[in-house]
Chains A and B, each alone.
Chain A
């Protein structure tokens, strides 16, 4: 086998709200786009997310947040990413995010925000471009 670079993405749900249908759907869509998705399920803390991203050596950390506390949670994730030296990974946020918060998230250091008005294709394209890794499903 030749050198085989797969895009690895962490899909994690942080915050306390109780269902993960959306995050699970995104995880499946990214898998179908040829990526390796590490799916952690519900109610992760920022610490758990960043520890996982480090161990799994993902290219992208994808956070799904519906709880409304996205600003504080994301800030915490970014602080931990810096502290643990994994701030080279792309951080994307999806979920129910009010438009006025998108620039705030980007100022904090979030690389991309996907809301309900974004398409899955936009997200897939973004990840492929941002990681610079070819879709390895050749």
Chain B
């Protein structure tokens, strides 16, 4: 199969096209993923999450500089929400990636919209990771706006999850509310040139201290100024340290595939097989009509459909 070979050779155009097929939820994408899966597992996946505007993309861009200097190739997946009204999306994370757009062999970035398809998004992101991994990218960075469950799912597929906050505006409290504190392996207080850094730092130290005895890994906190490239080398050293911790304890290979991921995929495949292939929109509409006329109840319809599918 030609496309598979091209991707394994790192061909950007082929990878870009496959990613579109994944995003469009096409069955031929699944056929190719089945083949390239056997060539994955070499990339180190890093998740970067945090509230809008805290400086995630700026940090990612700075981190890429460090990775590129050591000769690592990088893949970036930047996830932003689709508008629930129009279904469109404004994907602006590239604004900060200017320097890397002249280095396509070294940095391959893809912007993804959530497409309101919440169940499918984390498995689509996972598939895009496979593509970049199979292309031979050494490091993959996933940027998401850390608010919803889906974003948390995505960050969970990373080996090292970085939670970014900025001082002031009660941002650290926000982070705690969203349950984001539990998922961070590393915490970054960016915009350390702003006032309130010390307050943010002590808030964060306090929060981390509370959960500390439950955990083997004690997250480190870094202060950065992404716009001035400050604290970035230290941050990447922190990532290396966490990576070594995972590897030394045999945790990295376990993190590569989790039960949640398989369950996620099974749900997606059921949806595809039954709703798309077998049932189709017209049939669903017929059932809805019967339900509206109270000829039948929704549970019976759902069970009937599953029975028909042999489940």
Contacts and interface: CB of A to CB of B under 8 A. Distances in A.
A131 to B, nearest CB: 13
B120 interface: yes
Contacts of B271: 1
Interface in B97-152: 98, 101-102, 104, 108-111, 113, 115, 117, 119-120
A55 B90 contact: no
A56 B97 CA distance: 13
Interface string B3-38: 000000000110011011001111000000000000
B131 to A, nearest CB: 12
B92 interface: yes
A55 B101 CA distance: 10
A19 to B, nearest CB: 14
Contacts, number: 111
B19 A57 contact: yes
B24 A52 contact: no
B267 to A, nearest CB: 11
Interface string B72-106: 00000000001101111111101100100110100
Contacts of A4: 23-25, 115, 117
Band of interface residues on A: 35 or more
A128 interface: no
A34 B276 contact: no
Task: Tell me which of A57, A85, A137 has the highest count of chain B C-beta atoms within 10 A of its own C-beta.
Answer: A57
B25 A2 contact: yes
Contact of A51 (B23, B88, B92, B102): B102
B109 A31 contact: no
Nearest to B99: A48
Interface string A5-40: 110100000000000000000011011111111111
A51 B109 CA distance: 10
Task: Tell me which of A28, A36, A37, A47 has the highest count of chain B C-beta atoms within 10 A of its own C-beta.
Answer: A36
A64 to B, nearest CB: 14
A30 B113 CA distance: 14
A42 to B, nearest CB: 8
B276 A2 contact: yes
Contact of A34 (B12, B86, B119): B86
Contact of B88 (A2, A33, A41, A44): A33
A39 B25 contact: no
Given A1-B25, A3-B24, A137 B86 contact: yes
A54 interface: yes
Contacts of A6: 23-24, 87-88, 113, 115
A34 B87 CA distance: 5
Contacts of A38: 91, 94, 111
10 contacts: A6-B88, A31-B89, A33-B88, A39-B92, A40-B94, A48-B102, A52-B101, A85-B13, A137-B87, A137-B88
In the complex, the 4 A-B pairs of residues with the closest C-beta atoms, listed nearest first: A137-B87, A31-B88, A48-B101, A41-B95
